[in-house]
Amino acid sequence: MLALHTPEGTLADVASTKLTQAIITGELLQGQKLNEAELAERYGIGRGPLREALRQLEGMRLVKRIPHAGARVVMLDRDMMADLYAVREALEGMACRTAALRMTDAEIETLRLLLEKHAEQIEATDGQIYVQSEGDFDFHYQIALGSRNQMLIDLLAGELYQLLRMCRYRTSRLSARTRPALQQHRHIVDALTARDGELAEILMRRHISGAWKSISQMMDEEHDSKTITYPRSKTASGS
Amino acid sequence: MLALHTPEGTLADVASTKLTQAIITGELLQGQKLNEAELAERYGIGRGPLREALRQLEGMRLVKRIPHAGARVVMLDRDMMADLYAVREALEGMACRTAALRMTDAEIETLRLLLEKHAEQIEATDGQIYVQSEGDFDFHYQIALGSRNQMLIDLLAGELYQLLRMCRYRTSRLSARTRPALQQHRHIVDALTARDGELAEILMRRHISGAWKSISQMMDEEHDSKTITYPRSKTASGS
DNA sequence: TGCAAAAAGATTGTCAACAATCGTCGAGAA
DNA sequence: TTCTCGACGATTGTTGACAATCTTTTTGCA
């Protein structure tokens, strides 16, 4: 009983978790075709459970299935990321406003301590850790929990955050705004402490839209240097 | 080639659609155990596709699966409905604000015509149709489409609206606010026409939170008359 | 009589083979 | 040479049987 060989119960759920990880880390590339037989082989399971896992990932918007044509890893292009951040802003803004009313004093205090830990990590690694690590998600996740809205929690934790982590892996070395982000987090906690829901929402929305502006801008620059513009006309795309 | 016998391609997708309908209409009761073999028999398919359909419904939050214990229809209790309406308010408010900027004049005009059709139906049926029918969803769905945010559209159309329709079937005869609702819809279209995103958002949020207050209040009254309070103490609950 | 444990039954999870469908490659005609 | 049609191969969709797990019933003991 040293180590339970499967983190969750069924093979389909295990496969679902592993696939999620593989997609987020980029081990499975964006737009890549997912061959059922090959994946089943790789994870040592039958195609039945694997298909169930794919259906689950489809629900999380990590893969797109087309009947009789197979599943592909979702293409997280710029438009989709923009949509994602817009939805996230609305949802987390609401979470923050609600959390200001419903979180216990103890929970808010825990949040503040969490930020202190983050601050230490930032100093220790000179600004590297905060954004890259999952630490940032802890903060946002704790606030989602604080809203006491189970549907909102599921929505954020189950779907949006997976896509968001996928964004991060793609753009991790682009954005290095760890210190301003931490400062914004601190201000949010202050608003929560003051039980000022409206302010907390505004700060959270600004925090998220700021993050998007930063990422968006960095993508522009990256884009210009590489010039991977998608072919807008069909000028001999074959060769 | 008169009629394609299956609306969608795979059996799993067909089953998914049928199950969704069965759950929403209450043919499958809330909290009811879903026996795989029995359902597969009923729909004339194997258990494989049926299990995939269940996994898909789980993603839509219409059923809750527990490993090795089967799937049950979700319990749409009052708390969950409150959560649902809160999330919906945030999401549709955002959709409305964005739609005010992105919808074409033609689309807004179409919306207005839609409302006129609704008005006729209301007069013809003396206030019955509007809320009960899917007509209301058309309006909200069109605005979601107008946001041009695919993620938001999927979220609303694919998940929240199903649950919402489930609410309706449970509380359809409770709420009869068809005329005020139509009037609110008209004001929203006016705001869209004026391209006033902020006002459009406010009006939509008020519309939705008003709907929830109405439903919530009616549930209270229904509740009091029936007195189905959950047992708060264990006073011989067995008999 | 009441409780606990074990066996029986039912249900879910998994697999491997079969059928249906789609994409591709090549042959033939314009 | 290029387009179309048809056959082949590969992949997905589906099924039924088997294994693992949970639930219920029954039996034995205190």
Query: Which neighbouring-strand residues pair with B72?
Result: B33, B64
Residue with tokens 């749409």: B76
| Closest chain B residue to A147, measured at CA | B83
* Cα angle for residues A212, A227, A172 (degrees, 5° grid): 35
Distance A227 CA to D2 C1' (A): 34
Residue with tokens 């229809």: B73
Q: Which of A152-166, A179-193, A220-234 has the lowest mean pLDDT?
A: A220-234
ipTM (interface predicted TM): 0.87
Yes or no, beta carbons of A56 and B51 under 8 Å apart: no
Residue with tokens 């604080």: A146
Distance A145 CA to C10 C1' (A): 38
A49 touches strand C (CB under 7 A): yes
Segment B23-69, tens digit of pLDDT: 999 999 999 999 999 999 999 999 999 999 999 999 999 999 999 99
Segment B151-200, tens digit of pLDDT: 999 999 999 999 999 988 887 766 667 888 899 999 999 999 999 999 99
Q: For helices A135-146 and A105-125, what crossing angle results, to 10°?
A: 170
* A185 pLDDT more than 50: yes
Do A12 and A52 touch, CB atoms closer than 8 A? yes
pTM above 0.90, yes or no: no
Q: Domains, chain B, ranges and CATH?
A: 11-73 (1.10.10.10), 78-217 (1.20.120.530)
The pLDDT assigned to A153 comes to 97
Residue A163: CB partners within 8 Å, gap ≥ 6? A60, A61, A62, A74, A76, A84
Query: Binning pLDDT at 50, 70 and 90, where does residue A3 land?
Result: very low
The pLDDT assigned to A224 comes to 63
Query: Binning pLDDT at 50, 70 and 90, where does residue A122 land?
Result: confident
Distance A11 CA to D19 C1' (A): 14
Query: Binning pLDDT at 50, 70 and 90, where does residue A130 land?
Result: low
Distance B39 CA to C22 C1' (A): 30
| Closest chain B residue to A149, measured at CA | B83
Under DSSP, the state recorded for B129 is H
Rounded CA-CA distance A25/A180 in Å is 26
Segment A22-75, tens digit of pLDDT: 999 999 999 999 999 999 999 999 999 999 999 999 999 999 999 999 999 999
Q: Is B52 within 8 Å of chain A by CB?
A: yes
Rounded CA-CA distance A97/B205 in Å is 15
| Closest chain B residue to A82, measured at CA | B149
* B238 pLDDT more than 70: no
Q: How far is CA A7 from CA A12, A46, B4, B121, B183, in A?
A: 12, 18, 44, 55, 53
Segment A195-211, tens digit of pLDDT: 999 999 999 999 999 99
The pLDDT assigned to B75 comes to 95
Sheet holding A70-73, edge to edge: A33-34, A70-73, A63-66
Segment B88-136, tens digit of pLDDT: 999 999 999 999 999 999 999 999 999 998 888 888 877 666 555 676 7
Query: Binning pLDDT at 50, 70 and 90, where does residue A20 land?
Result: very high
Measuring alpha carbon to C1', the residue closest to nucleotide C20 is A68
* A132 pLDDT more than 60: no
Residue B199: CB partners within 8 Å, gap ≥ 6? B191
Of B55, B61, B83, the CB nearest to A56: B55
Query: Binning pLDDT at 50, 70 and 90, where does residue B6 land?
Result: very low
The pLDDT assigned to B55 comes to 96
Q: How far is CA B5 from CA A65, A66, B54, B132, B227, in A?
A: 22, 20, 22, 29, 46
Sequence-distant contacts of A139-145: CB under 8 A, at least 24 apart: A139/A111, A139/A114, A139/A115, A139/A185, A140/A92, A142/A107, A142/A110, A142/A111, A142/A114, A143/A92, A143/A95, A143/A96, A143/A99, A143/A111, A143/A188, A143/A192, A143/A204, A144/A92, A144/A95, A144/A99
The pLDDT assigned to B168 comes to 85
The pLDDT assigned to B174 comes to 62
Under DSSP, the state recorded for B29 is P
In strand D, the nucleotides that come within 7 Å of a protein beta carbon are 11-17, 21-23
Do B15 and B55 touch, CB atoms closer than 8 A? no
Query: Binning pLDDT at 50, 70 and 90, where does residue B5 land?
Result: very low
Rounded CA-CA distance B7/B9 in Å is 7
The pLDDT assigned to A223 comes to 62
Give me the half-sphere count of Cα atoms (radius 13 Å) on the Cβ side of residue B113.
Answer: 6
B18 touches strand C (CB under 7 A): no
Q: For helices A78-102 and B78-102, what crossing angle results, to 10°?
A: 140
At A103, give phi and psi (nearest 5°): -70, 150
Mean pLDDT over the full length of chain A: 87
